[in-house]
Structure 1
Amino acid sequence: MANSRQRKPDDRSNNVERIQGIIKNTEEKLHEAEISMEFADPMQSKMVKEKNERRKQSIEALKDEMKDEMAARKNGEV
């Protein structure tokens, strides 16, 4: 039986804005987690610090991806 579902074409036209939203959301979560550490026990605080480090790494990767998408948009690839 043939697959009746068709894949959607790759629409990169809003990737820059989408990535910006993800970055903003992640930065907000990072900030909220830092505030929550004031009330956390040492073990929870350690876990929050580790998670925030991963968040910071994700933000940097997302910024790089956003630069790539902006370059693609500028070059007419999107």
Structure 2
Amino acid sequence: MDNNTRTNPDNREDNVERLQEAVQNTIENIEASHDTMEMASEKDRALIEKKNKKREESLGGMRQEIMDEARNQKK
């Protein structure tokens, strides 16, 4: 292994907290987009709605991952 390539240890101790922060940020982004949609054109509104749908789907995955990580931390 050369000096420029180092592996980082798999430190998962703060994964739950980081995921919870990501969930909160995503929720805030969804809420902020609702304000933006009020002033957006129809085209932009459709794009925002599409993005929010993806955000909602991501929330489900993040919440599942939080549960998995919390379960793994108890072991």
Percent identity between the two aligned chains? 30
Alignment partner of 1:10 is 2:22: no
Residue segments in structure 2 that go unaligned for 5+ positions in a row = none
Q: Secondary structure at the match of 1:63?
A: helix
Normalised TM-score (structure 1): 0.90
**In 2: Cα distance, 1:59 partner to 1:30 partner:** 11
Residue segments in structure 1 that go unaligned for 5+ positions in a row = none
**In 1: Cα distance, 2:43 partner to 2:53 partner:** 16
Over the residues paired in the alignment, what is the CA RMSD in angstroms? 0.8
1:3, CA displacement in angstroms?
A: 1.6
Query: Structure 1, residues 7-66: CA drift from partner, whole Å, max 9, x if none?
Result: 111000000000000010010001000111000111000000000000000011000000
The count of corresponding residues between Structure 1 and Structure 2 is 74
Normalised TM-score (structure 2): 0.94
